[in-house]
Amino acid sequence: MLKRLSSRIADRLERGDVFEPRCPSREVMKHVTSSWGILALIALQSGTLRFSELRRKVNGVSERMLAQTLQQLEADGLVNRKSFPVVPPHVEYTLTPLGEEAAALVEALADWIEDRLPALRPSTSAPAA
């Protein structure tokens, strides 16, 4: 019995447990589900983008916030960053295979929100009087 319990605890630790306050999965989830994280992942589904292209596509994000978001997603193994040694700097971003999986999932959530926006926010769909 103790051996079985020990095995289950080891499985949970290896897999991650988002309900455990100190679990690193919480940090990854925070990065992936931030507004800018979701939008960057979805934008990169179309393929490799330069920083400036990505910033235009993710309309409204500051340079600093996009750079921070991309650094976090890169550290989490979801985005690849390729820097070219030219002036001015040329940097490209692409999704990793894990990033492609995450992007598909958050895109499904974004689509669900867009499709159900009138029901989620009834006051925004009412005509002005």
pLDDT at position 121 is: 83
pLDDT of residue 3: 63
Structure tokens of 103?
Answer: 């992007």
Ordered by where they begin, the domains of the chain are 16-111 (1.10.10.10)
**Type of residue numbered 31:** H
pLDDT, one tens digit per residue, over 20-55 is 888 898 889 899 989 999 999 999 999 999 999 999
The Cα 23–Cα 28 span in angstroms is 10
Q: pLDDT, tens digit, for every residue of 61-119?
A: 999 999 999 999 999 999 999 999 998 889 999 999 999 999 999 999 999 999 999 99
With CA atoms as reference, report the closest residue to 44 among 102, 106, 95. 95
User: Mean pLDDT of all residues in the chain?
Assistant: 88
Among residues 93, 56, 62, the alpha carbon closest in space to that of 78 is found at: 93
Model confidence pTM above 0.85 = no
Query: Exposure of 32 by Cβ count < 10 A (0-12 exposed, 13-18 middle, 19+ buried)?
Result: buried
